[in-house]
Amino acid sequence: MVKAVPGATDLAMLIAGLLLLPGLLPGADAAEALTASAGETDLWQQPGAMSADWQAYQQQSAADATRLQQQLQTELAAAKLTAPLPALKAKNFGLNGIDNPAALNAVLSYQTVLGGWSKRTDMQQVRKPGQLAGSEPAYIPTFDNGATSTQMRWLAAYYLQASAVEQAKIRTALTQAVQFVLRAQYPNGGFPQSYPLRGGYHDAVTLNDNVMTDLLNLLWDLANQPDYQWLAADLRASAQAGFAKGVAWLVSAQVVVDGKRTVWTAQHHPLTGAPVAARKFEQISLVSSESAAVLQLLLDKALDKAREQKPSSPGVLPALCSGIAWLQQHQIRDKVWQRHDTGSKLVEKKGAQIWARFYSLPQQQPVFFDRDGQVYSDVNQLSLERQQGYGWYQTNAKGVLKAWRKKPELAAQCGQIGGK
């Protein structure tokens, strides 16, 4: 379990202190959220050398980044280009899925040599030699905004209707993609936002926008769902092992405040699991929607596995009990959030349920951040641009609470263990 960190301490000094003793958890007491952006912090600074597995991971990442560049340079030389052609930008890749050979070939053409795909990139037409594989070069490839996991699911969904030749292409592409996901997974089970590593908060274990949960759901499906049964057995076994390792990380990273488990933050330090910030309007804070996605994953796919045998993550049920209780306690009832031309406001609506996107540490109260990093307790104190351009209140947690109500036997067990 990860405990909330003291806010008066510089992040780099804090991380350095945490790493003096291997396995030491972050600070004992919760405090104010740090205001320094992790985008301005080297998450890998520490005294002494990293362990061998982490050193190997960083060397692998650097080599893979070089491999990407070499592949592009090879294409540029073959096409006699002095600069890469830009990729077109598109929401949702310009596609809703693969349903014909042309779409298949186009999506496959954007798979990078490492096995992943990029975000915000139009993949309706076959990529030209020397053309970038993504509209944003820094995110080639990535897991952000559903990239890579989306293409993998599309390929599997199309497989049964594909021709024999197309199926062979899909098997090759999906095998490489699974290997890429497992290669990107940190030694402790977490996932960065992008791989190869690109620095700053992008290297944090990323729950924001459900990066981590999307990948773990995918790994579980790869190992267990019939849509992927044609994959090699050893690859499916590796996917199951990657899933178990990721679940173990989630259980260990659940933030503890005053000795009690709460939920998770949007980003956690790759080495220590401590909460870290991202952009200035995404400071350290507990998150409702991404935590709800974690709890749904544990409820649907981790709990039964933990019961069938000696659990790799024995804290799954306590994590669920505490997380569900936290969401129940921090919901805002009978109100909805409305945005308008001059700001936003909470409006009475009987029976409604919402949650703030962010909750402060250690107070666990709704908190809001502007682009300059200023912290506010009222959304109306934000600049108009931030009020209108960000989802400060959300309803995502309703789904897991509804699912939890259908499991009264689990709630009874929570009472027996005290949710600890």
CB 362 within 8 A of CB 29: yes
Quick one: residue 97, left, alpha or beta (phi over 0 = left, psi -120 to 50 = alpha)? left
Cite the DSSP H helix spans in 284-383. Answer: 289-297, 303-308, 316-330
User: SS3 for 267?
Assistant: strand
Q: Rounded to whole angstroms, how far apart are CA atoms 128 and 37? A: 38
- Residues with active-site annotation: 145, 279
Determine which helix (DSSP H) or strand (DSSP E) holds 206, and give its type and residue range. Answer: strand 205-206
Alpha-carbon distances, residue 312 vs 113, 247, 250, 304, 316 (angstroms)? 33, 9, 12, 12, 9
CB 207 within 8 A of CB 264: yes
DSSP string covering 167-178, please?
Answer: HHHHHHHHHHHH
User: SS3 for 14?
Assistant: helix
CB 152 within 8 A of CB 164: no
Q: 393 forms bridges with which residues in the sheet?
A: 356
Q: Rounded to whole angstroms, how far apart are CA atoms 356 and 373? A: 18
Residues in the chain: 420
Cite the DSSP H helix spans in 230-383. Answer: 233-253, 289-297, 303-308, 316-330
Q: Rounded to whole angstroms, how far apart are CA atoms 34 and 13? A: 12
Determine which helix (DSSP H) or strand (DSSP E) holds 350, and give its type and residue range. Answer: strand 343-356
Angle at 287 between CA 29 and CA 17, to 5 degrees: 35
